[in-house]
Amino acid sequence: MSSGGSRMPYRFEQIRCPNHPDAHLVEDYHAGDMVCPVCGLVVGDRVVDVGSEWRTFSERSGGDPSRVGAAENPMMEGQDLTTMIGPVSGDHSLGSAQGRLAALSGANRSLRSAMHEISSMADRLNLPRGIVDRCNLLFKEVHQDKRLKGRGVEAITSACLFIACRQESAARTFKEICAVSKVSKKDIGRCFKLIIRKLEQNVDPATASDFMARFCAHLSLNQQIQRAATHIAQKTVELDLCPGRVYTSIIAAAIYMAAQASETKKTQKEIGDVVGVADVTIRQSYRLMFERRRELFPETFQCKTRPEDLPKL
């Protein structure tokens, strides 16, 4: 022990064969030894076997059973580190009693219901597991904060999913979230604003590039048209040609303009069905962009129809 009462730190040295230090030692768990495969020297003894101490004879069980239970669930109260009582010789009384006690936990019941709702919406939107996990944690934070008490669970879960998609760079529009939800766009928007303000969540503003690849893929448009439509939408925002217009109407008009200049023409209805905007909305944004259409196209875009010859709606 050194001066001042502090203890010397322990040093763990890797066991090596003195004759062959680079050899990878073989562990013999039955004998509890570590043996050098080159010379056969027993380098270490009393090796602890970390495997199971029982044998598995069932063909259905697969690998060795584990005694640690399921992984902890950060969504549940107490992280779901509980013991489940199974039936013993057909007696279900203890398991039933535990089930009734677990049902009394209102917090876990609400969280499980919300998780089921989030998973259902995510499946219909084909969202990956990472977005679902982020949405679950965000809902738990909102649930524990209690400053949105009185708001519907469906509206909160929809708003949390909208935020999680933005944060994971897989943005979805309000209409897309509303299409798989049971609440109106207005209610989702209100909860979205409350969560952003009260929980101080960072959500970047939506841009054309967040949606363009997915929308163009649904419309079977190639990457050249996609890049042109993205450039048109970005230049429209920079030049402030469509003040007060939502980003989806600008995206739809940009896709329509790029498609009309290419050999793959798309109608306003086809684009509107994918983007989720009305035909008249596309026409209104297109007319605002039309006067400066020559400035919107990228120089590398090979136009089949010149910007001067684009239709004037």
Per-residue pLDDT of the chain (313 residues; tens, 9 = 90+): 444 444 444 444 577 888 888 888 887 766 667 888 888 888 876 666 555 555 555 555 555 555 555 555 555 555 555 555 555 555 556 656 656 555 545 567 778 888 899 999 999 998 999 999 999 999 988 888 877 777 888 999 999 999 999 988 888 998 899 999 888 889 999 999 988 888 887 788 888 888 998 999 999 999 999 999 999 999 999 999 999 888 899 999 999 999 999 999 999 999 999 998 999 999 999 999 999 999 999 988 888 888 888 988 7
Strand order in the sheet with 26-28: 26-28, 33-35, 42-45
With residue 33 as reference, give the H or E element that holds it: strand 33-35
- So what's the pLDDT on residue 113? 85
Q: Which residues of 213-252 are buried (b: 16+ CB within 10 A; e: fewer)?
A: eebbeebebeeebbbbbbbbbbbbbeeebbeebebbbbbb
Question: Cα–Cα distance between 151 and 154 in angstroms, integer?
Answer: 9
pLDDT of residue 104: 47
* Cβ atoms of residues 174 and 188 within 8 Å: yes
Confidence at residue 46, expressed as pLDDT on a 0 to 100 scale = 63
State how far Cα 121 lies from the chain centre.
Answer: 12
SS3 of 210-231: the string is: HHHHHHHHHCCCCHHHHHHHHH
Neighbours of 208 (CB within 10 A): 22
- Tell me what percent of the chain is helix, strand and coil, each rounded to the nearest 5: 50, 5, 45
β-bridge partners, 44: 34
Question: Cα(131)–Cα(167) distance, rounded to whole angstroms?
Answer: 9
What pLDDT, on a 0 to 100 scale, did the predictor assign at position 103? 52
pLDDT value of position 224: 92
CA–CA separation, 167 vs 143, rounded Å?
19
Please give the pLDDT value at position 27.
Answer: 78
Residue 234: closest CA among 259, 260, 253, 217: 253
Q: What's the pLDDT at 10?
A: 42
Tokens for 58, please give them: 């069932």
What is the pTM (predicted TM-score) of this model? 0.65
Question: What distance lies between CA 134 and its chain's CA centroid?
Answer: 6
What does the pLDDT read at residue 75?
59
Distance, CA of 14 to CA of 89 (rounded, Å) = 49
- Residue 42 has a pLDDT of 83
> How many residues are present in the chain?
313
